[in-house]
Structure 1
Amino acid sequence: MRKIAFVVSTTLMASFGYADTSIDKFMDESNTQLNLRYRFEAVDQEGFNSESAANSLRTRLSFNSGVVSGLQLGLEFDDVRHIGDDRFNSTSNGKTAYPVVADPDVTDLNQLFVKFKAENLTATAGRQRINLDDQRFIGGVAWRQNEQTYDGLRMQYDHGDLSADYSYVAQVNRIFGPTGDSATLDGDLHLLNANWNITAEHAITGFYYDMDFEDSASLSNTTLGLRYLAKFKPLTLTASVASQSETGAASINYTALYYLIEAKGNLAMVKWSAGYEVLGSDDGMKAFQTPLATAHKFQGFADKFLSTPATGIEDMYIGLGTALGPVNLSLTYHDFNAEEGSNHHGSEWDLAASYPITKNLNALLKFADYQADDHGTDTQKLWLQLQLSL
């Protein structure tokens, strides 16, 4: 790993005319990390005669060089391998008799970037992570074994209470990659996010995301919105609103709205949260979509709403969390309704328990129980995970 990074960094440094001592600093102050993540995922979904059972191991090697005159190189590889029989549909193994567990066998160049930082400005060019706000609109889908990353140029400006983040993206490297029809989303994407910390307790973020996909016109959209975060004792309040419409070669003209109101707080040893999120619809023809979101964080662990139904969705949820010694527990309930019309989209219970076995080794258990009504099918999912960071 260090040898590969040395060759790449030496070439880059030489092209910029840096001396050998600078190349030495690039390597001497570098950092290399190894991360192993084993996961067992089981899916019991109505409509399938067989249950899915997937054992997979993700191996991640990450390298970050030292910084010379503000310049830094980053390099990261991911490898996902299945252990035992493939009793699940990975989306590429042809096992369509089983429910989907979207973790195909892959070896992927996850990141390769050059970063330059000077005072308040940071510029990153190449393949990289881009996670904006809580990843409701732009994220890395890091829950899946193969991460979603972005090929492009990112500019970040930070000065006191103001910050701005702009990215031009030419290719999205999806969780199914690096080969196949679903591996990438190509196009012209402009992602703009700006934040103002009004006070220590109040902040407002404006965002504009224009996504024109070449071969996925149905996903193309322009989204303009605001997000407000307020910290009151004893709770935190988040409110967001956005409007979305078609762009590029999208075949349907539409305007759909997004709303969120969420409160979080502590009561003795219990953390609580409650929220109401709406992804609206334009007369039941086309709904608000979030094709680049880390969607697993929202609308239930069962991932039944990765694509918003045409009639939109209203999600009312409440969650509780606590710690039992070193074990962190959380339980969340969701109730889903159509935003357009009177359909009930079902409900879901989500449970999670995490345990830090050692400083570098963590265990995780998650369970999701989705009960369908007018949308989808009854689905139960179970995850057991061990993650080691070295």
Structure 2
Amino acid sequence: MKNALSLAVLAATTATFAIATPAAAKPGDPIVVNDNLTIDPIIEGLLRWEHVNQDDLGLDADAVTIRMRAGAEAKIHNLSFLAEAEGTLAISDHYNDTIPGNNGYLGAEPYSVVADPENVEINRLQLSYKGKAAKVTIGRQRIILDDARFVGNVGWRQNEQTFDAVRGEGKVGPVSIDATYSISQRTIFGVDSPNAHFDGDFILVNAGIDMKPVKLVGFAYMLDYDTRLAFSSRTIGFMATGGVPLGGKAKLDFKIRYANQQDYKLNPVDYSADYIDAELGVSVAGFRLTGGYEELGSDDGVAAFQTPLATLHAFNGWADLFLTTPASGLRDYHGGVSKAFGNAGPLKGVKAAVIYHKFESDFGSTNYGQEWDASLGFQVAGYPILLKYANYDAKAFGTDTEKFWLQIGFKY
């Protein structure tokens, strides 16, 4: 009943914005109410099957879930108001969703974990003012900084991570600044989870200058958790990215990033750890080749560099074995190849990628394991379809893990 009622609420919200159309508009375009007011409906969904096989960790998981988001953004002059509801329904729930009350919590269910619990929530509720050189947003909002390595929305999971925050963004010429004060991290684990949100005082500051072809960014993140004390930290660093043409359509691009993290406020552990990230990429003849090294350092095995606000699935392998950095730290040697194939009959925008990771500890140089990842994406009749595969071969960390995803999305 709860699921049916939740989806009914989302459907009613969608229908309300669909019929409130005083002027004709193409799908995806804002609705023009008058010369000063526009309303941009938000209607999107994602249907996904995720299969997980892990040696010695119970039954294989099969999760078939559908996620819906519905809402609208109204704009009048320089002001905008956005409201968005989000709901996730488990069509097949043969998986450990990590939610208490559903046959247990964190491993009590006889399946591997798929962190997509059934859930209905207010995903975003925000008020914004945008001027010529600055923007201020207050309320529950999506925040993605740089490539989401330190702060992101965890967009891969069905339930999105958002923040209760006030955020200011400014840009003058090549110089930009982005500053946020947040009081709550709204996690992917759903409103029924004891980890639904983590409160505290979070200060997130980015400042950059685009000198073309190189962009420099400096950042400082101060995380003071009320209860998640082991993740309270102060992180300060910089990143340089850029690209240079090699002739014809070939291009070389690079990323260099360094940061230092220390315990902050009530963190009971006294530690200091470094972060290093270096990557080179070459694009030629439609292929992109990448190679890189990422290190989340350890302070002599006592504690390691952590990124609790990040979109973690995008880094250190899609099998998600390293969502929390082990105390001995992590070194990730990785390389990949991707190719944009264009259109193939009814398949539009075909893209494929293969990535390899070799994992070691930072302290002690222990061989954790290795992983192969692969993906294939395309569109059919305007609907994006994605197939993904991850295979982690454990040596001295975790367990052998295979994951497969098939998903189709829509957005209006």
- One-letter amino acid of the structure 2 residue matched with residue 78 of structure 1: E
1:80 and 1:105 in contact (8 A); partners too: yes
1:281 and 1:340 in contact (8 A); partners too: yes
Matched, 1:121 2:134: yes
Q: 1:222 aligns with which of 230, 234, 258?
A: 234
1:264, CA displacement in angstroms? 1.1
Partner of 1:212: 224
1:48, CA displacement in angstroms? 2.2
Distance 1:367 1:2 in 2: 33
Partner of 1:346: 369
1:278/1:318 CA distance change after superposition, 3 Å: same
Q: 1:362 aligns with which of 363, 384, 403?
A: 384
1:61/1:2 CA distance change after superposition, 3 Å: closer
1:179, CA displacement in angstroms? 3.1
What secondary structure is seen at the aligned counterpart in 1 of 2:386? strand
1:121, CA displacement in angstroms? 1.2
1:27, CA displacement in angstroms? 9.0
Which shifted more, 251-260 or 90-99? 90-99
TM-align CA RMSD? 1.7
What secondary structure is seen at the aligned counterpart in 1 of 2:94? coil
Q: Displaced runs of 4+ in structure 1, greater than 4 A?
A: 2-5, 23-28
Aligned length: 369
Matched, 1:299 2:281: no
- One-letter amino acid of the structure 1 residue matched with residue 69 of structure 2: R
1:363, CA displacement in angstroms? 0.4
What secondary structure is seen at the aligned counterpart in 1 of 2:76? coil
Matched, 1:282 2:299: yes
1:303-351, Cα deviation, whole Å (9 max, x unpaired):
0000000000100100001133432000000000011102111000000
Which shifted more, 259-268 or 108-117? 259-268
1:195, CA displacement in angstroms? 0.7
Partner of 1:14: none
1:26, CA displacement in angstroms? 9.5
- One-letter amino acid of the structure 2 residue matched with residue 323 of structure 1: A
Partner of 2:89: 81
Distance 1:335 1:36 in 2: 35
Q: 1:378 aligns with which of 385, 400, 404?
A: 400
1:25 and 1:66 in contact (8 A); partners too: no
Partner of 1:243: 260
Matched, 1:147 2:156: no
What secondary structure is seen at the aligned counterpart in 1 of 2:69? strand
Give structure 1 stretches of 5+ with no counterpart.
6-22
Distance 2:65 2:71 in 1: 19
Distance 1:25 1:221 in 2: 48
Distance 1:3 1:334 in 2: 46
1:196-253, Cα deviation, whole Å (9 max, x unpaired):
012x201100000000000100011000000001212221010000000001110000
Distance 1:75 1:194 in 2: 29
Partner of 1:63: 72
**TM-score scaled by length of structure 2:** 0.87
1:228 and 1:238 in contact (8 A); partners too: yes
Identity over aligned residues, as a percent?
35
- One-letter amino acid of the structure 2 residue matched with residue 66 of structure 1: K
1:24/1:330 CA distance change after superposition, 3 Å: closer
- One-letter amino acid of the structure 1 residue matched with residue 214 of structure 2: H
**TM-score scaled by length of structure 1:** 0.92
1:201 and 1:231 in contact (8 A); partners too: yes
Distance 1:267 1:192 in 2: 36
1:29-71, Cα deviation, whole Å (9 max, x unpaired):
1110211100000000112231000000001113110223x11
Partner of 1:262: 279
